[in-house]
Amino acid sequence: MNKPMGAEGRAAGSNSDLLGLYRTMRRVRTFEERVGELFVRGQTAGSMLHLSIGEESAAVGVTAAMLPQDTFTTHHRGHGIFLARGADPMRMMAEIGGKEAGYCRGKGGSMHIADMGLGHLGANAIVGGGIPAVVGAGLSARHRKNHAVSVAFFGDGATGQGILYESMNMAALWGLPVLFVCINNQYGMGTRIDQATANTALHERAIAFGLEAETVDGLDVEAVAEAARRRVDGARAGRPGFLAIDCYRFYGHARKDKSPYRDAAEEEAGRARDPVAFARARLLERGLVTAAALDALDAEIGAEMDATIDFTIAADEPPLASMFRDVFAPGEPEPEPVRARIDRVLARD
């Protein structure tokens, strides 16, 4: 490839001191809140939006442990991971809104966003669909000796997919520089993890394949970052790993989902386990920063993310002719438009 430069990503995600982690988590949360607003306003394309609010520590803690040459794939709830890796929130929001200025020129959207520059091999709308690609990236890294780790991010829902086990088995068998990160937000759409599997200690199944595996509490971003560093370093040394991060999906599966399948008491308890609030409280408790300074930081981030909405609404739609571009490589003939074919067929004498 396509060497991920990643310097930018590292800058945003590698601020591994607590203030840096807090700042990135706050950016993720605020971005996600704005995504919700963009949708409510209904002024752009993109109907499939899955927010990661409540799961910020996973995105931020793991990306903080990654190096610039590393690559990754994400699931459909991956905004936070990409932003924490260093994505430009303007281009992200524009992509989510289906605009030409987006990372994928409006063709990918929320669930198919990617950026080779940051090593993002793609978000995926097929549960588990992006997982085996990291095994391939691991083979590439071994073959090219570039010391890159490839990380698959997925939700607890993907633990129901066979391809996860095929991929873990192959990564372990070949000792590839690969890490599987399961962001366990307790729900695959409306099905709670204990309604989907009898053994909810998800890392145990990775151990069964010979991976180094652990579960970490997503409430504490420092703990996540530390566990991620252990696992990323292990993967880089040829010991593929698995990291489950326990958290809670604060809101529904997607925008219109009001979560009728879970009760208010559960939601209240879940939302009390807020990694952003937890980090903030700890910062204050340690006397590292004042509340006023954090408020100012939050306001600055709010303004930054507000701008993504205005930018996206004002941004150009992709030109219609771009539809035929990139089905195949540049220089290959583009597919013939249906209208052109009809014209040709009816043009006879």
Partner 1 sequence: MAEMMYRDALRKALADAMAADPDIVVIGEEVGRYGGAYGVTKDLIREFGAERVIDTPISEPAIVGTAVGAAMTGLRPVAELMYVDFLGMAMDQLANQAAKIRYMFGGQIGVPMVLRTQGGTGRSAGAQHSQSLEAFVMHTPGLRLAMPATVADAYHLLRQALTRPDPVVFIEHKALYALKEDVDLGAEPPPWGKASVLREGGDIVLVTYSRQVHYAMEAAAALAARGIEATVIDLRTLNPLDFDTVRAHVERAGRAMVVSEGAMTSGVAAELAARISEECFDFLEDPVVRVAGEDVPISVSTVLERGSVPSAGLIAETAERMLR
Binding site for partner 1 (CB under 8 A): 1-2, 71, 73, 102-108, 112, 114-116, 121-122, 124, 126, 129-144, 148, 150, 162-163, 166-167, 169-170, 173-174, 325-330, 332-333, 335, 341, 344-345, 348-349
Whichever of 159 and 167 has its CB closer to partner 1, that residue is 167
Whichever of 100 and 304 has its CB closer to partner 1, that residue is 100
Sign of CA dihedral 15, 19, 21, 25: negative
Q: What is the dihedral of CA 76, 50, 319, 339, to 10 degrees?
A: 70
* Dist CA 97 CA 113 (whole Å): 11
What the block records as the tokens of 153 is 């991010």
Whichever of 286 and 341 has its CB closer to partner 1, that residue is 341
- Name residue 115's beta-bridge partners: 120
Q: Residue 186 Cβ, how far from partner 1 at the closest point, in Å?
A: 25
Measured in residues, the chain has a length of 349
Q: Residue 332 Cβ, how far from partner 1 at the closest point, in Å?
A: 7
Q: Residue 109 Cβ, how far from partner 1 at the closest point, in Å?
A: 9
Q: Residue 153 Cβ, how far from partner 1 at the closest point, in Å?
A: 14
Largest CA distance in the chain: 85
DSSP 10-62: HHHH---SHHHHHHHHHHHHHHHHHHHHHHHHT-SS-------TT-HHHHHHH
What the block records as the tokens of 288 is 């590292």
Whichever of 175 and 302 has its CB closer to partner 1, that residue is 175
Closest CA to 110 of 50, 190, 189, 185: 50
Whichever of 80 and 102 has its CB closer to partner 1, that residue is 102
Whichever of 265 and 320 has its CB closer to partner 1, that residue is 320
Q: Residue 203 Cβ, how far from partner 1 at the closest point, in Å?
A: 20
Q: Residue 231 Cβ, how far from partner 1 at the closest point, in Å?
A: 19
